[in-house]
C-alpha cells in the first residue's frame, strides 16, 4: 500500500476548549487518497524534506497565496499575507521530490508552487485580467467550467479525454510556467494543468479534484 505525504496549513483554529494555531488539512484530501488505496501522512511546515525518502508520493494542497517576492514581484493589494514557513517548506519538499523522481501532484496552490519553483510567475489578481465569475464568484465557493487538455498529455491520458469539466475557487493563477509544460487551459486561456515530463509523474492542476 503506497504511503503519500500531504502538505498542510498552519492557521488559527478553534475546537472544543481550544483556540490555537493548528497544523491541519481539509479531510477530503485524506478521504480520497485513502479511498484510492493510499496511507496518508500529513507533513507540517518545517518538516525535513528527507522525510520523503520514506514515502511513495507527495501532494501539495491548496491554500493561501505564495509570497510574490519568490518570483520577484511586489505583492498585489489583494494578496494574502505571506505564510513564510509554509512557502519555505513546500518549495523544499517539491525540489526534493522532483530531483529524486518521487511522484508529485500539485493542487491549486500546489500547481503554483511548482510553476514558481521552475522559474515561472503568477497572475496575482485573476479578476483583473479575466471574468472573476469564471474562476471564483466569492471565496469559499466553487464554480464549474470547461477545460481543454493537450492531446497525448498525461492529464489527457488519465481522464481519457481532451475536454473535461473542472471546478475553480482561486484568485491567482499561473502566468509563466517556467520550464514546466502547459497541458491544460480554461476557456479564457487560464492555465489549468502543468506537467514536468522529465519525471515519471509530476503534474499540477489548478482546480480541486478532491471536491465532489
210 is catalytic: yes
Confidence of residue 127 (pLDDT cuts 50, 70, 90): confident
**How do the domains of the chain map onto residue ranges?**
3-205
Q: What is the DSSP string of 112-179?
A: HHHHHHTT-EEES-GGGTS-HHHH-SSTT--EEEEEEE-TTSHHHHHHT-SEEEEEE--S-EEEE-TT
Tens of pLDDT, residue by residue over 38-84, are 999 999 998 999 999 999 999 999 999 999 999 999 999 999 999 99
CATH number of 3-205: 3.40.50.880
CA-to-CA dists, residue 188 to 94, 123, 141, angstroms: 28, 14, 19
Return the ∠ at Cα 71 (arms to 45 and 194), rounded to 5°. 80
Note the pTM of the prediction, 2 decimals: 0.95
- Of 8, 108, 194, 202, the active-site residue reads 108
CA distances from 184 to 58, 156, 160, 163, 207 (A): 21, 9, 14, 9, 11
Average pLDDT over residues 90-111: 98
Q: Distance of CA 42 to CAs 50, 51, 59, 139, 190, Å?
A: 14, 11, 10, 25, 30
Q: How confident is the model at residue 135 (pLDDT cuts 50, 70, 90)?
A: low
As given in the structure block, the three cell numbers for residue 31 are 478521504
Q: Is 108 a catalytic site residue?
A: yes
In the 8-state DSSP scheme, what is residue 80?
P
CB-based contacts of 209, cutoff 8 Å, min separation 6? 32, 107
Task: Phi first, then psi: give them for residue 175, nearest 5 degrees.
Answer: -95, -70
Map residue 35 onto helix, strand or coil.
Answer: helix
Per-position DSSP letters for 59-79, written without gaps between them? EE---SPPPGGGGT-PPPTTP
Amino acid at each position: 500500500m503506497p504511503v503519500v505525504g500531504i502538505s498542510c496549513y498552519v492557521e488559527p483554529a478553534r475546537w472544543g476548549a481550544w483556540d490555537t494555531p493548528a497544523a491541519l488539512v481539509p479531510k477530503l484530501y485524506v478521504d480520497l487518497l485513502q479511498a484510492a488505496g493510499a496511507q496518508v501522512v500529513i507533513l507540517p511546515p518545517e518538516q525535513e524534506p528527507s522525510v520523503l525518502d520514506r514515502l511513495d508520493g507527495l501532494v501539495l494542497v491548496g491554500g493561501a497565496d505564495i509570497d510574490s517576492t519568490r518570483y520577484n514581484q511586489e505583492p498585489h493589494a489583494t494578496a494574502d499575507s505571506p505564510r513564510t514557513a509554509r512557502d519555505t517548506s513546500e518549495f523544499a519538499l517539491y525540489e526534493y521530490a522532483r530531483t529524486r523522481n518521487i511522484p508529485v501532484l500539485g493542487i491549486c496552490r500546489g500547481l503554483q508552487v511548482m510553476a514558481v519553483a521552475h522559474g515561472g510567475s503568477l497572475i496575482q489578481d485573476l479578476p483583473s485580467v479575466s471574468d472573476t465569475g469564471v474562476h471564483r464568484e466569492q471565496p469559499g465557493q466553487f464554480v464549474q467550467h470547461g477545460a481543454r487538455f493537450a492531446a497525448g498529455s498525461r492529464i489527457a491520458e488519465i481522464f481519457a479525454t481532451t475536454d473535461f469539466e473542472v471546478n475553480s475557487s482561486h484568485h491567482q493563477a499561473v502566468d509563466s510556467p517556467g520550464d514546466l509544460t502547459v497541458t491544460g487551459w480554461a476557456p479564457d486561456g487560464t492555465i489549468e494543468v502543468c506537467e514536468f515530463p522529465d519525471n515519471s509523474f509530476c503534474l499540477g492542476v489548478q482546480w480541486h479534484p478532491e471536491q465532489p
